[in-house]
Amino acid sequence: MSTSTSIADALTGIHARIATSARAAGRDPSAIELVAVSKFHPQASVIAALEAGQRIFGENRVQEAAAKFPDLRTRWPELRLHIIGGLQTNKALEAVRIADMIESLDRPSLSDAIARAGEKAGRLPDLLVQVNTGDETQKSGVRLEDADAFITSSMTRFGKSMRGLMCIPPHDQDPTPHFRLLADMAARHGLPVVSMGMSADFERAIACGATLVRVGSAIFGARPAHA
């Protein structure tokens, strides 16, 4: 089986699982969008997914995204690129220039860098605040005790560009309480976008209210050994 065929088949299967999970939760499947996480995978795999109808992609590294995506927009102008990894302030301008959404806003210094970048670039992507729902010291994301204040200040600063919240639960815990916490927090702030759930747990995230699910290995296979 070719790589293109396997990616197309995988996408068909993921969309079917999204629809089944949504209906089981009493939700409209069209309310959930799939972010195909293409980090560390070659442009050829992205093209295979685009040819199969996928339009939203997630990348961790701004430099990798900048090398992989801009020239694809000519052929697929509806392509949407999300930066989903921790973002360094010195990468903010490039991220603002190329991304349709930054899912990892998590600290005041990054807010400042994105605001400056937006003024310089003349555009501002949609933004999600990443919440560190497990308060893990090694993980990106605003701490729970600071989250509400940071979300409020981000909504004030960025207006309609501030769209919602994202989380990555601790890998060694049941993700469901973390998903519920994030969905409740988004609802409390009146934010429509809730990005949560990956290959291993996106169905549980949908049951808790996810509107974006980020799926990589279940679409593209294991990341390349050199990544």
Query: Tell me: the pLDDT tens digits for 111-155?
Result: 999 999 999 999 999 999 999 999 999 899 999 999 999 999 999
Domain 3-220, CATH class in plain words: alpha beta
pLDDT at 1 (0 to 100): 44
> Are 121 and 98 within 8 A, CB to CB?
no
Query: Tell me: the pLDDT tens digits for 147-178?
Result: 999 999 999 999 999 999 999 999 999 999 99
Distance CA 110, CA 116 (A): 10
Per-domain boundaries in the chain: 3-220
> Are 72 and 43 within 8 A, CB to CB?
yes
Q: Is the pLDDT score of 227 beyond 80?
A: no
Alpha-carbon Rg of the chain, whole angstroms?
A: 17
Tokens of 109: 């210094």
Distance CA 3, CA 169 (A): 30
